[in-house]
Amino acid sequence: MRNLIFANFSRLWKSKIFWVLETFCFAFGVFSYTLVAINTRNLGHGWLEYNAHTYFYLPIMFLPAVIAVFACFFIGTDYSDGTIRNKLIAGHSKSGIYLSYLLTTYMAVIFFVGAYLFAVITVGLPLVGSSVITYVQLHWRVFNILLILIEYVSLFVLLAMLDSNKARNVVVSLLVAFLIILIGMMFYSQYMQPEFVNRVVPLPDGGFELKKGEANSKYLSGTIRTVFEWVTLIIPHGSALMSLDKRLAFDWRNPIIAVVLTIMTIVSGIQLLNKKDIK
């Protein structure tokens, strides 16, 4: 499999879609931290202290779509060029080919993340200072995100390997990516509804009264809350949002679920590829 990995990496550096997405991630980082600098200048250092964490982890919001596009084009090109068929003729196993694409795609994703972080260093630090990093909570959150990225990679490599039609695969994979993002956000936002809220009530004399500790009608409780919690943990984007929420402590279920789902996806992908007739 080493030769397969070397061949993939050799093609990676020549891949146009890789450099397009790498440029996009860097440009998005430049844009984001230019906004950070402007907002910090206008709203004060307190704004930065509250928002630095969110901006640092912002790529997780669009990386599923980036991974989907890269996997579709990178693997789909090998299908259309007959490269995968030639690898099989040369004696490589389908499982070896599958795992080599998995590793190559994950390393490409690490480079995409690195491009965004390079923007943090080259734009964020000079414009704002070290506060763009010191206010960020790292440690186990980075570990969780890396596992969730593997989970995304395993899913979109599976989709790309099982459908040799690149155009159709791009549409399907992007649809899956956006559904994961939307469903994850929906379940996370519902699950994180507070039990009590403050409410402004208008008075007859035209004034307003602030009522504190009002029961929140959107708060989930009982069995439905448990269901929403587990669905949020299982959906990759929901799990990512829970991992990045500064109000939440480390939850051992996040990394375990990510690892289990990744293994299940990889094993299923290899089994399905072994049954696929590659012409």
Please state whether the predicted TM-score (pTM) of the whole model is above 0.85. Answer: yes
Q: How far is CA 222 from CA 21, 151, 228, 237, 241, in A?
A: 44, 29, 10, 23, 22
Q: What percent of the chain is predicted at pLDDT more than 70?
A: 94
* Cβ-based neighbour number of residue 273 at 10 Å: 17
Quick one: pLDDT at residue 1?
Answer: 74
**pLDDT over 70 (residue 32):** yes
Mean pLDDT over residues 9-34, rounded?
Answer: 93
Q: Which residue has the tokens 């996040």?
A: 254
67-115 tens-digit pLDDT:
999 999 999 888 888 888 888 888 888 889 999 999 999 999 999 999 9
* CA atoms of 47 and 27, how far apart (whole Å): 23
- The pLDDT of residue 18 is 95
Helices within the chain (DSSP H only): 2-12, 16-43, 45-56, 63-80, 83-89, 94-119, 125-128, 131-134, 140-162, 166-191, 222-234, 236-244, 253-275
Q: Are the beta carbons of 196 and 215 closer than 8 angstroms?
A: yes
Residue with tokens 């690898």: 87
Secondary structure class of 257 (helix, strand, coil): helix
202's enclosing H/E stretch is strand 196-202
Query: Taken in order 215, 217, 218, 224, is the CA torsion positive or negative?
Result: positive
